[in-house]
Structure 1
Amino acid sequence: MNKNIILCAVLFLGACSSNSEQHAFESDLYDGRPIETFKTDTAPTTELEAIKRGDSALKSNNTDLALYEYIRSLEFKSAEYRDKTLFTIGRIHQSRGNLELSERAYLLALEENPNNIQVLQQLGSNYSKQGDVEQGESYFIRAINADQLRLVSREKIEQGNVTVKEIQELSSDKQSPALAYTGLGVLYDVKTQPKVAQAFYEYALNINPKSSKALMNLGYSHYMSGEYEEAKRYTLDAIEKDGNNEKAQNNLALIYLAQDDSQRALNVFMRFMEAPEALNNVGYFLMLQGKPEKAVTYLQQAIDKKPSYYKVANENLERALLEVRANSADVATRVQ
């Protein structure tokens, strides 16, 4: 037999052997530019090499190439970091607004590791924001229970049946899922169980004392319970941690209005919006609080500041005046 043919056969078999570890590129999780446009060197020989390439591309904001490299890392039979890589893939898709692919990546990550805490709490957050609060709560609780396993704790909580005592008995460290605790706090506020909600927020703050989100939500929970001084304290702490947090600023204004301090509320609104909008907001929220007489003054000022622009203020003023008249009529009827 021709020696050249034998040599070619040996080389061919050797190439097959060296690449038997890796499958063909799996494109189901890819949505970037054509992969043929990537000018990469030789194919990665290990999972870690592919992950490092992905990390480097991500650091350079080349998310298409990062996705390509991360997906290639999944193709190694001996891959050890699939769940973590799938989480990263999911985060990239989520940052690009592709929620379908991000969800697919997260769910695949859980097939690899059902107790991946980052994936569980991210799914909890995503489902909650999409309005699927039951799914959201389920994944948040799974994240917390998975964290208890990590910490070798026997404690756990169950969906729909959580007490303050059970929350306080949980274990945690700085790596615990603060987002899951905060998310559950929001869901329990919606369920009108403020004490349980506040216990979740406080636990999130034990994990991350600098969390402006947990502080803001804890303040708002106290506001909804009519505990205005507590609400103000936590809300001011949130603003101190994050001066650009407009939601916290908005909540602070609501607290001042609840305490009949309209001027302070107006000053807060004017930190992050123009005067007509700030005046309209004060009037609108005073109206919601059942104070239409006070609302009228601020709504009229909003219109005076920018009459051609402030259609909303005109509509709110008309509503406030109707309520004032209705209240006056009611008083007159009672006097008679």
Structure 2
Amino acid sequence: MKLKIFTTMLTSFFLVLGCSNSNPKRDKFDTTLYDGRPIETLSTDVPPLSEKEAITRGDIALTNNNLDLALYEYIRSLSFEEARFQDKTLYNIGRIHQSRNNNLLAEKAYLMAVKSNPNHIPSLTKLGVEYSKSGSIELGESYLLRAVNADQARLSSQLRVNKDKKIDNKLIQALLVDNQSPEEALMALGVLADVREQHDLAQAWYSKALMVDGSSAKTLMNLGYSYYMSGDYTTAQRFTLASLEKQPENDKALNNLALIYLAKGEVRRGLSVFQQKMETPEALNNVGYILMIQGKPDKAIPYLQQAINMKPNYYKVANENLERALALVKEEKGEN
């Protein structure tokens, strides 16, 4: 009898042990990646049994705009020892934090994604864009180039872009792209080239980005502005109008179009564009100010005077601009 009881207990022990070993091993929940309401309020469900199940739960929560729950489930998916999608999950965690302007946690998640997969193109792109925006230009550019190079590797191209070596139009044009290529990284490299006044390079980067997404209003706008800065106003107008076809209410593109018209001497058209988004006195002041900084203070004066006449009691800005324009005209006459 005792032997039978012992055998039954021993069998039960091994059954329990077997069940315990069949569950995936998980580390503790990484609270350093979480920033939301108390975890205990999020879910009373049975814990996920696999990485895939946790990710699916996170995806559903994200679709329902339940960001705290999405974060919770995504972070839980990272704890599985055999996790295979950590780079993508960490990227999603970074995007959620970024949407909340929690840039430090977003950066941490993107860096962890790149540590998990050094060629994770979306995370490399986000790091490059955000570092560049924050003023860390060299660091940002290095991540953007890594994203481009990782994409070349994905496409089985032997080409690589290295900031320590010469980057020219020919190299950029030779890069392979498809509809999965990092359009945002290509566009951001164009912006950095424009900042350095390397407009030919910038236009090559933008053109390559348009090969990925030809309907990108932002890339079309940036390409138009690049041509404006390089003095090709006709081409600048064409791309800016193409951008406005995609986003007619884009204030920045409208402002760029007005700048282009003024640079071409089509002042009335520039004024008309400004009037689409502001009252006439402000539009007149803008025209006067831009003409002045374009080196045409004499042509600026009538528009500034009109702005003041329409708001005589309180339009301080136009008065200041008028004084400056008159002083510039006086200096020019003195030089002559």
TM-score, length basis structure 2: 0.93
Return the alpha-carbon distance in structure 2 between the equivalents of residues 310 and 8 of structure 1. Answer: 88
2:250 counterpart of 1:254: no
CA displacement, residues 144-189 of structure 1 (integer Å, 9 cap, x when unaligned)? 1100110111111111521111111111111111111111111111
Alignment match, 1:296: 301
Q: 1:193 to 1:65 in 2, by over 3 A?
A: same
2:129 counterpart of 1:125: yes
Moved over 4 A (4+): 1-16
Alignment match, 1:217: 222
Alignment match, 2:233: 228
Alignment match, 2:275: 270
Residues 10-25 of structure 1: pairs in structure 2 closer than 5 A: 13=17, 16-17=20-21, 19-25=23-29
Bigger Cα displacement from structure 2, 11-20 vs 124-133? 11-20
1:58 Cα deviation after fit: 0.9
Return the alpha-carbon distance in structure 1 between the equivalents of residues 147 and 185 of structure 2. Answer: 7
2:255 counterpart of 1:240: no
Return the alpha-carbon distance in structure 1 between the equivalents of residues 286 and 10 of structure 2. Answer: 84
Alignment match, 2:56: 52
2:148 counterpart of 1:144: yes
Q: 167, 174, 195: which is aligned to 1:190? A: 195
Q: 176, 182, 201: which is aligned to 1:171? A: 176
Structure 2, unmatched stretches of 5+, are none
Return the alpha-carbon distance in structure 2 between the equivalents of residues 55 and 157 of structure 1. Answer: 35
Return the alpha-carbon distance in structure 2 between the equivalents of residues 16 and 279 of structure 1. Answer: 77
Q: 70, 73, 81: which is aligned to 1:66? A: 70
Structure 1, unmatched stretches of 5+, are 332-336
2:282 counterpart of 1:282: no
Return the alpha-carbon distance in structure 2 between the equivalents of residues 308 and 247 of structure 1. Answer: 30
Alignment match, 2:45: 41
Return the alpha-carbon distance in structure 1 between the equivalents of residues 185 and 57 of structure 2. Answer: 31
Return the alpha-carbon distance in structure 2 between the equivalents of residues 84 and 311 of structure 1. Answer: 53
C-alpha contact 2:24 2:50 (8 A) present in aligned 1: no
2:93 counterpart of 1:79: no
Alignment match, 2:211: 206
Alignment match, 1:93: 97
1:114 Cα deviation after fit: 0.3
Return the alpha-carbon distance in structure 2 between the equivalents of residues 308 and 5 of structure 1. Answer: 96
Q: 1:282 to 1:11 in 2, by over 3 A?
A: farther
C-alpha contact 2:24 2:81 (8 A) present in aligned 1: no
Return the alpha-carbon distance in structure 1 between the equivalents of residues 94 and 299 of structure 2. Answer: 50
2:155 counterpart of 1:135: no
1:244 Cα deviation after fit: 2.0
Return the alpha-carbon distance in structure 1 between the equivalents of residues 18 and 313 of structure 2. Answer: 79
C-alpha contact 2:50 2:77 (8 A) present in aligned 1: yes
Share of identical aligned residues, percent? Answer: 56
1:16 Cα deviation after fit: 4.7
Return the alpha-carbon distance in structure 2 between the equivalents of residues 298 and 16 of structure 1. Answer: 81
Alignment match, 1:155: 159
Bigger Cα displacement from structure 2, 221-230 vs 297-306? 297-306
Q: Report the aligned-residue RMSD.
A: 2.1
